[in-house]
Amino acid sequence: MNICVFGSEGRMGQLVREEAGLSVIACYDRISPGASVDVPLPPEVDTVIDFSLPSAWRDLDKLLHGNSAGLVSGTTGLGNTEMELLRKWSSERPVFFASNMSMGIYVLDKLLQTAASMLADDFDLEIVEFHHRGKIDSPSGTALTLLDIWEKNGGGKKITHGRSGPAGPRSHDETGIHSVRGGDVAGDHQLHLLGDGERLLLSHSATGRRTFALGALKAADFIYGKPPGIYSMEDMMSEREEK
């Protein structure tokens, strides 16, 4: 499989290049502010792996125009415009999108889904996420995915981003999200389920970003030869379970 890395000079892009080795035949990145990608994608590229920024997706759209190469994206902080682009691209190619490429986070998602279905009526949820000082978006895409799982399985839909001053008593329909930034933390997510007389802690820690690069390459293998559509960690892990 021939790979193109979009966002190749970022931390994740560099790790993907290292892990993929000679499979990488093209790289694209904004070297300077205002620069744009206007070089066509080589026709022999099978899959584009994207770890960039939402602001770079106009260039990614240009790069993908006129070809059917698969796309694996771990870019976070997406808005409505980017979600529309994902839908557009998925009509032409297989698109794998995940806010976190870790198999451990996939399992954490499943654990929260089970816990929420059993405990949401009686327990409160506080999400605490830790990332390195250079992370741009907050809360993390993973934290927002976890929040969505909680809400869809009976949890509260009122979001509180941290607390300060006379915040008043916590309502049961409230879910707290707290973002901690500093150092070189690759990514920690803690789910504090707080009940009367007992607490439950579910957590995941990434010891390095290489985990996410390897996950992206597994995703590239998974969508290789797949028909157009949007694919997720759920799809990939379900296929692994069947095997």
For the record, the structure tokens of 88 come out as 């557009």
- Look up 65 and say whether it is catalytic: no
Selected catalytic residue, list 62, 65, 110, 131:
131
What is the number of other CB atoms lying within 10 angstroms of the CB of residue 202? 16
- Look up 131 and say whether it is catalytic: yes
DSSP strand pairing (3-6 vs 229-231): unpaired
Please enumerate in sequence order all residues whose Cβ is within 8 A of that of 11, keeping only pairs 6 or more positions apart, or say none: 209
Query: How far apart, in Å, are the Cα atoms of 109 and each of 102, 224, 239?
Result: 11, 25, 17
Selected catalytic residue, list 132, 135, 218, 226:
135
**Residue 189: which of 90, 107, 97, 66 has the closest Cα?**
107
Please enumerate in sequence order all residues whose Cβ is within 8 A of that of 181, keeping only pairs 6 or more positions apart, or say none: 130, 131, 132, 133, 135, 138
Residues in the chain, overall count: 243
Query: How far apart, in Å, are the Cα atoms of 180 and each of 6, 75, 161?
Result: 28, 19, 11
**Residue 147: which of 162, 157, 161, 137 has the closest Cα?**
157
Q: What angle do CA 71, 72, 76 make, to 5 degrees?
A: 120
Q: Which residues are catalytic?
A: 131, 135
